[in-house]
Amino acid sequence: MKICILDAYTANPGDLSWDELASLAPLATYPRTLPQEVVTRAADAEIVLTNKTILDAEKIAQLPKLQYIGVLATGYNVVDLQAAKARGIVVTNIPAYSTYSVAQTVFAHLLNITHQIQRHSDMVHQGAWVNSPDFMFTAGTLHQLAGKSMGIVGLGNTGTAVARIALAFGMKVLAFTSKSEAQLALMFPQEVSQHQLLKVSKDELFAQSDVLSLHCPLNEETAAFINRDSLAQMKPTAIFINSGRGPLVDEQALADALNEGRIAAAAVDVLSTEPPKADNPLLSAANCYISPHIAWATQEARATLIRIATDNVKAFLEGRPQNRVI
């Protein structure tokens, strides 16, 4: 057996190790692989690992030795599952490895927006505090989170983690979720009984949320979940956060809402096309904070990803595949 990693750089830019994986079988790692390089590089490998490098039906057909595809992420849309299934190729993914890192990023953005930490730090370094007539200064109105309502779309692993942090900040959680009220009462017994966590309708979610954070999968029902109509229902003081998938948002509609002051701010870690095109409207939108798809990428989360990926390969070699997609 041989293992080939097509795009190793994002999971491990050099601060972690592939040694445990390499102990299982001969390993070839490539930082990045262009589409035209996939077949050549993976030709001798029975096991191929990929993050964003696409393995479509055409490429799978040209890899006769291929027995296993390990996706180095939770989402697996980079693999043609039908083609893999037809060949009997096992496909696995990495579930729930970045839950806490993504939740942390949500609040990194939210705290920066509500307390304007980066803006004030920049101003201090530019001399604004040195020249202040008072012992302190503010560059605008600051806001506390306690007492605000946080709308959360999707209460899976990450949405639940975000909800628990919001509750710890003294926020009220408005959950738009497929989970029943009975399930929520089991997950958050005290908060539900005290009405600090409520299951709400879509209209209630948009109208009542001071902060709205997306943690739902991307599918036909959720594509462009945030659009002109939903934004029109939101408070002009609302903050919107997306650390899920870029296509959950109509980016032009969001940019227009920001530029016209119909919502207060937005923070996104994902965009519809990555890297973004230079004309993406959010790049120039007012009060739009953008991080480059790094919510998942803490060293700890990446170490967990590599460990699970290694365990997945080991389980496959032992004839007991785990975390199977197909």
- What are the 10-residue block averages of pLDDT along the chain, 326 residues in total? 98 98 98 98 98 98 98 96 98 98 98 98 98 97 98 98 98 98 98 98 98 96 97 98 98 98 98 98 98 98 98 98 97
Beta bridge partners of 91: 69
How is the beta sheet containing 27-29 ordered, strand by strand?
27-29, 3-5, 47-50, 68-71, 90-92
Q: Quote the CATH superfamily of domain 3-97+299-317.
A: NAD(P)-binding Rossmann-like Domain (3.40.50.720)
CB 172 within 8 A of CB 152: no
Q: In this predicted structure, what is the pLDDT of residue 266?
A: 98
Measure CA of the first residue to CA of the last residue in the chain; give whole Å: 20
Which of the residues 274, 300, 318, 320 is marked catalytic? Answer: 274
Q: Where in the chain is the domain with CATH 3.40.50.720?
A: 3-97+299-317, 99-290
Q: In this predicted structure, what is the pLDDT of residue 188?
A: 98
Which of the residues 293, 300, 302, 324 is marked catalytic? Answer: 293
> Which is it for strands 211-214 and 149-153: parallel, antiparallel or unpaired?
parallel
Which of the residues 109, 215, 245, 302 is marked catalytic? Answer: 245
CATH placement of domain 99-290: 3.40.50.720
∠ CA 49-158-189 to the nearest 5 degrees?
Answer: 145
Contact partners, residue 207, CB within 8 Å, separation at least 6 = 233, 234, 235
Q: In this predicted structure, what is the pLDDT of residue 13?
A: 98
- Please tell me the chain's helix, strand, coil percentages from 3-state DSSP, rounded to the nearest 5: 35, 15, 50
> What are 72's two structure tokens?
């180095």
Q: In this predicted structure, what is the pLDDT of residue 311?
A: 98
Q: How far apart are CA 183 and CA 137, in angstroms?
A: 46
215 is catalytic: no
293 is catalytic: yes
Tokens 């599918």 sit at which residue? 219
Q: How far apart are CA 171 and CA 175, in angstroms?
A: 12
Entry field: residues in the chain: 326
251 is catalytic: no
